[in-house]
Amino acid sequence: MAQTKKLLLLPGDGIGPEIMRETRRLIEWLEKNRPIAFTVEEDLIGGASFDVHGTPLRDEAVAKGAAADAILMGAVGGPKWDSLPFAQRPERGLLKIRKDLDLFANLRPALCFAALADASSLKRELVEGLDIMIVRELTGGLYFGEPRGIETLPDGQRRGLNTQPYTTEEVRRVARVAFDLARARKGKLHSADKSNVLESHVVWREEVTWLRDHEYKDVELQHILADNCAMQLIRNPQQFDVLLADNLYGDILSDQAAMLTGSLGMLPSSSLGAADENGKRPALYEPVHGSAPDIAGKNVANPLAMILSFTMALKYSLGLPEEGALIEKAVQNVLAKGLRTGDIMQQGSTRVTTASMGDAIINELDGLSR
């Protein structure tokens, strides 16, 4: 009997609908070739939602996401909506779904496929085989702390204010995600902070240490200052396996690590909430790259980050790790054959369209399944 999994698709703006279309083809392939069934709903987010509903994300869409086993999102934003008030801009839709579903743990793998090692700005020997998992706290810290705002002082100067708070539970719950991943991988966790200058990061470091001492004695923990971590990612990235950071530094370090692999167009991510009594977590999967409005609708976008985000969903939310690994193998084989979209084009490779890349992956899956 087929397993039934419930998905919510949020294609979004720009190239989002194009890359989601190729991912949907893989969902259909799995239904046809594996004892799996998907119940798939689709809704609007970002500018696409604002154009129809006057808001970047409706509460109804959030409710659909809460009921799903996983949410797949394309991208949000574009110059069309830049003049909107801050609260109505497309990006607020993404922040809303993260906050409303309490998606506190952002997983950003920085994985370098062998065929793309020369696309990195670093030497091949530094990045070939690179496999780092960055865990970023996503719903607290500087991006959400209160008080915040812009005020005019009595002397006429303007002052911008943001606050970075972290509580014991906020730190421990995201650290547990990182420790669990480290335990399942190489048993090694780096935690990046600025505890030398920030009181909130003194709390961060002490709570991460408490958790290791009380629940994860089998995992090696190394604390590292965030600025040194940025340097070490360039100097010797292979020393890292799982890397934990707060909202601000996780944002910066994950983008830095992403470029070690050669292209943002290749990198997936997931955002996870707390598990319920049945072990089900709210979860959102999305590519790291943006909406790329300059190439939207031209059939040239790279769908691989969206497809690899789907493989993360298969592993972490849908209980289908073998199917996730199969699609990853298909992606690896396609790249090894030299097929490239424009963003990862290299000398001697063959340029393909968005749809053609999808065709190639489907063909590989057919071959791997014979």
pLDDT tens per residue across span 219-268 = 999 999 999 999 999 999 999 999 999 999 999 999 898 888 877 778 89
User: Which residues constitute the domain of residue 200?
Assistant: 110-268
Cα torsion 128, 322, 106, 63: sign: positive
Kindly state the average pLDDT of the residues 83-109: 94
Question: In 3D, which of 29, 91, 85, 33 has the Cα closest to residue 57?
Answer: 91
What was the pLDDT predicted at 259? 81
CA distance 71 to 25: 16
What was the pLDDT predicted at 133? 96
125 and 244 part of one domain: yes
Domain-ending residue, one of 268, 288, 303: 268
Kindly state the average pLDDT of the residues 132-158: 95
What was the pLDDT predicted at 2? 64
Kindly state the average pLDDT of the residues 20-35: 97
Total count of domains within the chain:
2
CB 37 within 8 A of CB 4: yes
When mean pLDDT is compared across 27-31, 118-122, 160-164, the lowest value belongs to 118-122
Kindly state the average pLDDT of the residues 152-173: 97
Kindly state the average pLDDT of the residues 159-185: 97
156 and 35 part of one domain: no
79 and 215 part of one domain: no
**276 pLDDT more than 80:** yes
Kindly state the average pLDDT of the residues 52-81: 97
- Please report how many Cα atoms fall inside a 13 Å half-sphere around the Cα of residue 15, on the Cβ side: 27
With bands split at pLDDT 50, 70 and 90, how would you rate the model's confidence at 81?
A: very high
283 and 247 part of one domain: no
158 and 180 part of one domain: yes
Catalytic residues, by residue number, are 143, 194, 227, 251, 255
With bands split at pLDDT 50, 70 and 90, how would you rate the model's confidence at 146?
A: very high
Q: Which pair of tokens denotes residue 61?
A: 């869409």
Sheet of strand 188-193: strand arrangement: 36-42, 3-12, 70-75, 283-287, 268-272, 105-111, 131-137, 242-245, 188-193, 220-225
When mean pLDDT is compared across 116-125, 177-186, 194-203, 297-306, the lowest value belongs to 116-125
pTM score > 0.85 for this model? yes
Question: Could you check whether the bond before residue 147 is cis, i.e. omega within 30 degrees of 0?
Answer: yes
Kindly state the average pLDDT of the residues 203-214: 98
29 and 14 part of one domain: yes
Domain-ending residue, one of 211, 236, 268: 268
Q: Any idea what the CATH number is for the domain that residue 283 is in?
A: 3.40.718.10
CB 69 within 8 A of CB 317: yes
Cα torsion 332, 333, 334, 339: sign: positive
Instruction: Indicate the average pLDDT of the chain.
Output: 94
Kindly state the average pLDDT of the residues 150-175: 97
What was the pLDDT predicted at 1? 55
CA distance 360 to 74: 20
Residue 14 vs residue 122, higher pLDDT: 14
What was the pLDDT predicted at 102? 93
CA distance 285 to 104: 13
CA distance 311 to 169: 30
What was the pLDDT predicted at 181? 96
With bands split at pLDDT 50, 70 and 90, how would you rate the model's confidence at 187?
A: very high
116 and 257 part of one domain: yes
Domain-ending residue, one of 268, 284, 306: 268
What was the pLDDT predicted at 113? 85
- Torsion angle (degrees, nearest 10) of CA 38, 269, 214, 184: 70
295 and 244 part of one domain: no
What was the pLDDT predicted at 104? 96
Residue 49 phi/psi, 5° resolution? -70, -40
331 and 244 part of one domain: no
DSSP 157-222: -EEEE------HHHHHHHHHHHHHHHHHTTSEEEEEE-TTT-HHHHHHHHHHHHHHHHH-TTSEEE
262 and 121 part of one domain: yes
What was the pLDDT predicted at 123? 86
91 and 22 part of one domain: yes
2 and 139 part of one domain: no
